[in-house]
Structure 1
Amino acid sequence: MSFHNNEFDRKVLPIWDDSALSGGLSENTSLRNTTTTVTSENLSDKLILELKRSDKVGIAVELLNVASLEREDEALTFAARRILKESGLPTPITILAQQVLGQVEEVQKNLEFYKIRKLRAHLSQQPRNALAWVDLAREHVILGNSSHAEKAMTIALNLEPSHRWVTRVASRLFVHINLIDKSHRLLMSHPGIRNDPWIASAEIAVSELSGRTSKNISTSKKLLEAGFNPKHTAELASALGTLELSAGANKKAKNYFRNSLEAPNRNVLAQVKWVEQAHDLKAGVQITNEQMEMAFEAKAWENYINGNISKALYFCMEWYKSEPYSSKPPMLATYLAALVDKYDIVIGVAIEGLKTNPDNLTLKLNKAYAEIAKIGIPTEQPVDEATILAWVTFFKDIIRKDKSSASHAAANLGMLCYRIGYLENGKDWYNYAETLCKSESAETLAMCSTYHAREAIIAKAAWADTVYSTAKDLVQKASASELPSALFYMKKIEILKHTPDNWPEILGAANKPLIELPPSREIFTYKSKGIESTVKFYLLNS
C-alpha cells in the first residue's frame, strides 16, 4: 500500500469546483473592489411563470433541469410536484423529481451522465454561458472523457479568454490530462500574469510541476507587497513557500506559509497540512476551527498526522466528493482505508478513481493489495490460478518498468506469496521491496517492514520475530509526525505478535486457505523462469 510517491508531491494547483459553488470564492471577487464577473440570465423565474400559465409537463421537465443547475430550491420543488402528477415519463426524470421531494434516496448510478444531459439542455438555451461549458468539462473529466472535457473547456476559453477563474480551472484540467505545457502557455498568455496574484500562483505551481523554473518569481514576490487583500495573495504566498521548500530554504518557506495563513482558503490550509506531514515543517500558526470548516483535505491531513486514521478517512472521502476529478483523494483514501483494514472501501474507491485516472498505478496497486488481503476471509470467493497469474505478471511488469512504483509492486508480490503458502518467496520479495524503500521516505520503509511483519506473523514463519523486531526498531526511531501510519498499524502488529492465533479477529480475516495450491509452482512462471530465479535477478541487479 502506498501514496508516498511523485504523484503526491503536492503543488498549489487551482481547485476546480463547479461554477455554482465557485461563485462565492475569493478568487471570483475583484482585486480592486470592482465587479467584472460572468453572469447568466436566471431562467427559473421565467419557466415558473410559463408553467403556471400552461401546466405542460415538458416545461416542468425543463424547469427541473434549469433549476437544478441554478440551485433554485423553490423552483425545483414546483417542477417536481408537477412532474410526479404525470405517468410514463423517463425513469431518471421521475427519480430526480422524487429526490427533490425527499421521497427516495439519492441514486448515484449514471448520475454524472444525467448531469451532462442537464448541462447540454441548459447550453442549448444559453450557448454563450462560459460557466456552463466549464461545468460540462468537469462532468466529462470525472467520467474519464478527456477529449470531450478538453473540447468543452476550449469553448469556455474562447468565450471568456481573460476570465480569471475560467483560465485557472482550464489550467487545472490540462494538468490532469497531462497537457502541462498547454496549461503553462495558457497561464503565461493571460493578461493578468504580472499583476494578478491568482494567475501568478497557478503559473508558479504548474512551472514547478513541469520541472521548469518560473520566469515570474521576482514579479510574484512583488505582488505580495502590492497591498492586495491577503485573501487574494494567500495561494501565491503558499506557492512561493512550496518553491522555497523544494530548494531547501526552510526558513524562507516558513515565512511564506505564515503569510499564506493570514486569510487562507482550503487550498492553502491543505498545503500547510501536507507540508507539515511530508516535510515535518510547521508554520507556527494556529489554524482556527472556522478556517477549517470546509477544508476537507486539510482536515484529512491533520487527522492523519495526529493518528486519527478513521477520521482522516472520513474527511478524505468528503474531499473526494468535492474534487472527484483529482487522483489525490482516492489515492489517500485507499491508503487510509487499508490502515483500518476496510478492504471493500479500498477496492470501491480505487475503481471509482480509475474511471477518472485510468493510468494511475498507485490506485491499481492499492486495489490489488486489498484484493490479496481478502484471501482467507470465509465470506469471500476463492482465488483462482488465473487471477494469481495476472497479479504476478502485473507486479513483475511494474518492477521492470517503473522505478517509482517498484517497491509497492514487490511488496504486493511478497504479500501474495505469503498468503498462498510460499513463505520463502514472500520473504525474498518483501526484502527486495524494503531495499528499494530505503531510497524513498522513512514512512514508506517503515510501512513496508510493518506489513512484512504482519504477513510473517500470520504465516508463523520461522523468521517472524526477526522481521517484527526490525519493523519495531524503524518505527521507534522516528517521531509521531514522521510515521503516523506506521505508528498506528504497529499497535495492531504488537497485539498480533502476542496473540497470533487471533489474527482473524485482529485483521478481519479468517485463518482458512481458500485456494487449492497446485503441486508445482508453475503459476509463478514468467517465460519459463520460476520466481526464485526472478528474485535473484532483481536482487543482483538492483
Structure 2
Amino acid sequence: MTPESLATQRRLVPRWRSLALTLRARELGLRGTPKPAPHLSPEMVQRLERWRMFPSIVSASELVEIAIVECREGEALNAARRLIAPASTAAPLVRAQAAELLRRNGEEVPDKLVHARPTDATAWRDLTRLHPHDALAWVELALHQTVAGRDKRAERSMRVALQLSPDNRHVLRSASRLFLHMGDPERAHDIVRRSAATRGDPWLLAAEIALAELADRDPTFFKQGVRFVDDGGMFPHQITELAGAIGTADLLGGGVKRSRRMFRTSMVDPTGSSLAQGEWATRHLGVDLVPHERLDTVSEAHEAQAFHLYRRARFDDVPCACEAWSRVDPFSLRPYEFGASTAAFTEDFPKAEELSARGLQRNSDSPILLNVRAFVMASQNRLAEASKLLRQIDAKKASPAFRHLTGANNGMVAFRSGDLAKGRQLYLEAAEGFRKAHMPMPSAHARVFLAREAHLAGDPDAPKLLLEAQKAVERLGFTEVSFTLEKVETLMGIAPLSPRKPNPVPPRPEPLPTKPRVISWSTPGWTRPGS
C-alpha cells in the first residue's frame, strides 16, 4: 500500500531558493509601506548618515539592505543607483538586489548593468573568493552545496554568511531552513529567535513561530506576531506567512475561530508557501480557505496546486504539479514523496518509479520513497527488488506508522510469493497497528489491499475480507481510500455497500492532536501524526 499523501502536518517554515527567486516572490521588501512611521529607525538613520558622509560600495549596500527590510526603499534610490553603475565593483548579488529595488520603484534598469549570476557550486565558490565579504554569495554557495548533498560544506558556508550578516532576513531564513534540513530544529529556531532583527520583522516572526513548533518549544514572539497582524499597519503580502503561522499554531492548539481569521488574512496576498499552508489547513478546518484564482496568479504556487488537485480527486494531475514544485524547492524530498505516492496510488507505476528514484538520489533512507518504490515493484511482480527495498528501512529509526506501512507491503510480497498465511497476518497486524495509533484511514486501506491480494491469490476468504474492508471504509465517509476500494470491488465483481459521492472538502474538520510529537525528518517543516 502507499502512504497517505496529505496525512502530514505542515509548518510555514521559510522556503530556501536563490536570491533571484526570493526577490521575485517579494519576500525581501515591498512597494513602500501603507502606514509610514513618523520617524526613521535609529539603525536606518545611522546608515543614511554613513552613506551621505562616506558614499562607498559598502555603505550603499548596507543602506539598500535595511531600506528593503524596513520598507523605506525611497531612501535608498541613490545608493542603489551607485551599486549598479558601470564602474561599480559591487558583487553580482548586491547589484541584483539594488536593481530589483529600482525596478520596484519605477526605474528602468538595463540587464547589462546586472552581472549574470553563476549557476553551479564551483562558480559560486569562485565568486566568494573574489568577494569574500558578500554574505549573499555565501548563502547561494550553501544552497548549491545542499542540493548536491554536501551538507557539511553547506553548513560551513552558511556559518560564514551568518558571521557577515547576522541580522539579514534572507541569510537568517536560509540558515534556519538549512539546519532544519540537517535535522537540527533547535539550532534553526535559535538562529532566528536570537537575532535582533526578528522582533520587528514579520517574515522572521513567522519563521520563529513555525520553527518553535518543530523544536517542540513555545514561540518567543507569538504575541508580538499577533499584534503585527491585528494592527493592520502593513501590506497583506508582508504578513501573509506570519498570519499563516499563527493560524497553524491556533489550529493545532484548538483555537479554530482565530485560526480561520488568520488564514483569511494570509490568503489576501499570499506567497506560494502560505498558499500551500491554506490548502493544507482546508482539510482540517473543513472550509475552503484558498480563493481559486490564487492558484493561477501566485508565484511558486505548485505545492498548493498539488494539494488542491489531490483534494479535488484529480490524482492523475498531481505528479506533474509536484515536478514543477521540485524546481522551486530544489533540495526538499517532499515533492518527490508526494508525487511518487500519488502516482503509485493511481497505478501510474512508471511515473512513481521515476519520481521515487529521483527522490532517493537525494536521500536514500526515506521510508516514504522506499515503501512507494517497493509497492511499485511488488505490483509488477518484481518481488526480489521489492523485498530488498523493504529491508533497507531501519525499523528502529522508523516511526510506528512507517513500521506498519512496511509490514503491509511485506504482506503484499508474501501473498505474491505464495505465502497466503503470512501475507494475511502481516496485513492484519498493519491494520490493527494503524487502528491503535488512531489512524483509521491507513487501517482501512490495509484491509482493502488485504482483500485485493487475497482475491488475486485465490483465497476463498477474499469476499469476507472485502466486506470487512467495506465496513471500515464506510465509517470514514468518502476519502481517497474509497477510490482503491472501488477498484477492488470492480476487480472482484462485488457491489458497494452503499452509493458514494465525492466531497473534496471534508464536511467536518479532521481531528488534530493539540500538541503533536515532532519528528525530524527529511523534509523540513513537516511532522508525521501518530508517531
Q: TM-score w.r.t. structure 2 length?
A: 0.73
Q: Is the 8 A contact 2:344 2:352 kept in 1?
A: yes
Letter in 2 for 1:238: G
Q: Is the 8 A contact 1:270 1:295 kept in 2?
A: yes
Q: Distance in 1 between matches of 2:82 and 2:184?
A: 33
- What pairs with 1:110-509 in structure 2 (closer than 5 Å)? 115-226=120-231, 227-277=233-283, 279-282=284-287, 284=289, 286-289=291-294, 290-292=296-298, 294-375=300-381, 383-384=383-384, 390=388, 393-394=391-392, 398=395, 402-438=399-435, 439-480=437-478, 483=479, 485-498=480-493
- Specify the SS of the correspondent of 1:128: coil
Structure 1 equivalent of residue 14 of structure 2 = 14
Q: How far did residue 320 of structure 1 move?
A: 1.5
Q: Is the 8 A contact 1:333 1:346 kept in 2?
A: yes
Q: Distance in 2 between matches of 1:437 and 1:116?
A: 44
Letter in 1 for 2:202: P
Q: Is the 8 A contact 1:6 1:404 kept in 2?
A: no
Q: Deviations over 1:452-492 (max 9, x none)?
A: 23222222221211222222333333344xx2x21332332
Specify whether residues 392 and 339 from structure 1 end up closer, same or farther in structure 2 by C-alpha distance, changes over 3 A only: closer
Letter in 1 for 2:15: I
Q: Is the 8 A contact 1:137 1:149 kept in 2?
A: yes
Runs of 5+ unmatched residues, structure 2: 30-67, 101-108, 495-531
Q: How far did residue 128 of structure 1 move?
A: 3.0
Q: Of 68, 71, 81, which residue of structure 2 is paired with 1:33?
A: 71
Specify whether residues 336 and 5 from structure 1 end up closer, same or farther in structure 2 by C-alpha distance, changes over 3 A only: closer
- What pairs with 1:98-109 in structure 2 (closer than 5 Å)? none
Letter in 2 for 1:177: M
- The structure whose RCO (Cα within 8 Å, separation 6+) is larger is 2
Structure 1 equivalent of residue 34 of structure 2 = none
- Specify the SS of the correspondent of 1:147: helix
Specify whether residues 461 and 44 from structure 1 end up closer, same or farther in structure 2 by C-alpha distance, changes over 3 A only: farther
Letter in 2 for 1:131: L
Q: How far did residue 304 of structure 1 move?
A: 0.3
Q: Deviations over 1:225-257 (max 9, x none)?
A: 331111111111111111111112222211111
Q: How far did residue 403 of structure 1 move?
A: 1.7
Runs of 5+ unmatched residues, structure 1: 47-62, 80-111, 376-381, 500-542
Q: How far did residue 349 of structure 1 move?
A: 2.1
Q: Distance in 2 between matches of 1:435 and 1:398?
A: 18
Q: Distance in 2 between matches of 1:42 and 1:121?
A: 21
Q: Is the 8 A contact 1:238 1:268 kept in 2?
A: yes
Q: Is the 8 A contact 1:446 1:474 kept in 2?
A: yes
Q: Distance in 1 between matches of 2:193 and 2:2?
A: 35
Q: Distance in 2 between matches of 1:285 and 1:241?
A: 14
Letter in 2 for 1:119: W
Identity across the alignment (%): 26
Specify whether residues 175 and 323 from structure 1 end up closer, same or farther in structure 2 by C-alpha distance, changes over 3 A only: same
Q: Distance in 2 between matches of 1:269 and 1:138?
A: 23
- Specify the SS of the correspondent of 1:337: helix
Aligned CA RMSD, in angstroms, stands at: 3.5
Q: How far did residue 34 of structure 1 move?
A: 1.4
Q: Distance in 1 between matches of 2:82 and 2:320?
A: 38
Q: Distance in 2 between matches of 1:401 and 1:194?
A: 37
Specify whether residues 43 and 459 from structure 1 end up closer, same or farther in structure 2 by C-alpha distance, changes over 3 A only: farther
Q: Deviations over 1:337-379 (max 9, x none)?
A: 101212233233223223333432222222222222221xxxx
Q: TM-score w.r.t. structure 1 length?
A: 0.72
Q: Deviations over 1:73-122 (max 9, x none)?
A: 988xxx9xxxxxxxxxxxxxxxxxxxxxxxxxxxxxxxx9x722232233
Q: Is the 8 A contact 2:209 2:222 kept in 1?
A: yes
Q: Distance in 2 between matches of 1:26 and 1:313?
A: 27
Q: Is the 8 A contact 2:387 2:413 kept in 1?
A: no
Letter in 2 for 1:166: V
Q: Is the 8 A contact 1:399 1:405 kept in 2?
A: no
Q: Is the 8 A contact 1:399 1:410 kept in 2?
A: no
Q: Deviations over 1:291-330 (max 9, x none)?
A: 4563011110111011000112211221112112112211
Q: Is the 8 A contact 1:266 1:298 kept in 2?
A: yes
Aligned length: 433
Q: Is the 8 A contact 2:383 2:417 kept in 1?
A: no
Specify whether residues 43 and 232 from structure 1 end up closer, same or farther in structure 2 by C-alpha distance, changes over 3 A only: closer
Q: How far did residue 391 of structure 1 move?
A: 5.2
Q: How far did residue 400 of structure 1 move?
A: 9.1
Q: Is the 8 A contact 1:264 1:291 kept in 2?
A: no
Specify whether residues 117 and 392 from structure 1 end up closer, same or farther in structure 2 by C-alpha distance, changes over 3 A only: closer
- Specify the SS of the correspondent of 1:212: coil
- Specify the SS of the correspondent of 1:445: helix
Q: Is the 8 A contact 2:452 2:488 kept in 1?
A: yes
Q: Is the 8 A contact 1:234 1:263 kept in 2?
A: yes
Specify whether residues 493 and 266 from structure 1 end up closer, same or farther in structure 2 by C-alpha distance, changes over 3 A only: same
Q: How far did residue 40 of structure 1 move?
A: 12
